[in-house]
Amino acid sequence: MAKGNLIKVFPGGNTCKGFHSFYDYIIDDADATRIFIIKGGPGVGKSTFMRKIGETMLERGFDVEFHCCSSDNNSLDGVVIPAIKVALIDGTTPHIVDPKNPGAVDEIIYLGEFWDESRVRKHKEEILKTNARLKRLYRTAYSALKEAKVIRDEWESYVSESMIANRANKAVANLIQAIFNGVAPRYERPAKVRHLFATAITPNGIVTGHVESLLHDVQQLYAICGEPGSGVPQVLARITDMAYSKGLHTQLYHCPFNPANIDLVILPEIKVAAMNVHPPHTFDPSSIPNLTAMKLNLSNFIDQDKLSIYAHEISSATYRYQACLDRAVSYIRQAKLTHDYMESFYVPAMNFDAIDAKRQDILQRILNYANEYHGQEHINTAG
């Protein structure tokens, strides 16, 4: 049996607007077979619970989505098995999720059932202090990102003022024509739009390595780059609007710094994607077989003489922006270490053997849902 494809995304992000959640797009609850919402404290094994189920389904040939945590990119906030419309989601803060259709679609799995309450309670004061410290670290990180946004806006203003608009507009019009030439409208059903992050600001900096997993079915990639302020997000927004007007399903992956901007658009029905490839976004199209790439560099339409007037201001803004970004990452890293410390109060109190047994029960239920969809071809017994 061939192993399934693993896709990695982020459902939430540490952004200039604070923690930004796209949790409502992890799975369409109106269409879901089952949503398991995992609750419990730090260190109780929520991520491992979901990961092991996801890995088992991968081995059984199912494509699986790992929804990674932006505050700890080695941890999971969710797992989705699209073929059978099943999801497991971490429902704890800062992305609190509760059942919307209890019993019919979703249910809570509470791993707090498997801790020794007395062993946790004896650390009550330290847990409360650590929680307060954690909140302060994130507030400081988000303040630094908000400051970075002000500086970024200044930086972008110098570039946007220097653009040769008519030449840029012509190039963008040609690009959009190339993407949608011959694409027939699809008005027989509503167009679906899904919002997530492909990259994130994490304790390890900006993580961009998940993009390749999203493009394995794409045949044509339009790589768009340009200095901040040259209009890359606006081009991706225009592509998105055109896709929607034609009734195409779209997958939108937002900027990890400013979630109002889009970094990646995937149009799965026509196997096309358009992507911001300006640093820090790094992606080598040759890493995916059968992927054809076309590049548009909006920096080619900058009046360099005009821009040179602002050389000092741009240099200053670039330095200050990076300093704020680095400061934010350092506080997110401290928050991660503080969260790890919090876990130390819970891990010794957990009955992980009982959690393993619970995981096997949930895995068997998921395999039963798969059986409803696919007969016995993927199913043996849970193990």
Query: 244 and 360: one domain?
Result: no
Residues of the chain with pLDDT under 70: 375-383
Give backbone dihedrals phi and psi of 43, rounded to 5 degrees, phi first: 85, 5
Check whether residue 168 and residue 293 sit in a common domain.
yes
Both 111 and 239 in one domain: the answer is: no
Can you give the residue range of the structural domain that contains 24? 6-115+350-374
21 and 102 share one domain? yes
**What's the angle, vertex CA 301, arms to CA 296 and CA 305, rounded to 5?**
145
Same domain, 188 and 280: yes
The pLDDT value recorded for residue 375 is 59
- Whether 91 and 211 share a structural domain: no
Q: pLDDT digits over 161-184, tens only?
A: 999 999 999 999 999 999 999 999
Of 242, 267, 302, which residue is a domain's last? 302
> Are 296 and 215 part of one and the same domain?
yes
Domain boundary among 246, 280, 302: 302
- The pLDDT value recorded for residue 126 is 98
Query: Does residue 111 sit in the same domain as residue 224?
Result: no
Query: How many other C-beta atoms can be found within 10 angstroms of the C-beta atom of residue 9?
Result: 26
Same-domain check for residues 172 and 100 = no
* CB < 8 Å & 24+ apart, contacts of 300-308: 300/171, 301/163, 301/164, 301/165, 301/167, 301/168, 301/171, 301/230, 302/159, 302/162, 302/163, 302/164, 302/227, 302/230, 303/162, 303/163, 303/164, 304/162, 306/161, 306/162, 307/158, 307/159, 307/162
For residues 275 and 358, membership in a common domain is answered with no
Last residue within a domain, chosen from 243, 277, 302:
302
- CA nearest 186: which of 106, 123, 250? 250
Is residue 194 a part of any domain in this protein?
Answer: yes
In total, how many domains does the chain have? 2
Query: pTM (2 decimals)?
Result: 0.94
Asked whether residue 342 is domain-assigned, the answer is no
- Assess if residue 140 is contained within a domain: no
Q: What is the pLDDT of residue 273?
A: 98
Give pLDDT, residue 196.
Answer: 98
Residue 339 counted as domain residue: no
**Residue 266 placed within a domain:** yes
For the stretch 91-144, pLDDT in tens is 998 888 999 999 999 999 999 999 999 999 999 999 999 999 999 999 999 999
- Identify whether 49 is part of a domain: yes
Is residue 294 one of the residues assigned to a domain?
A: yes
Is residue 88 assigned to a domain? yes
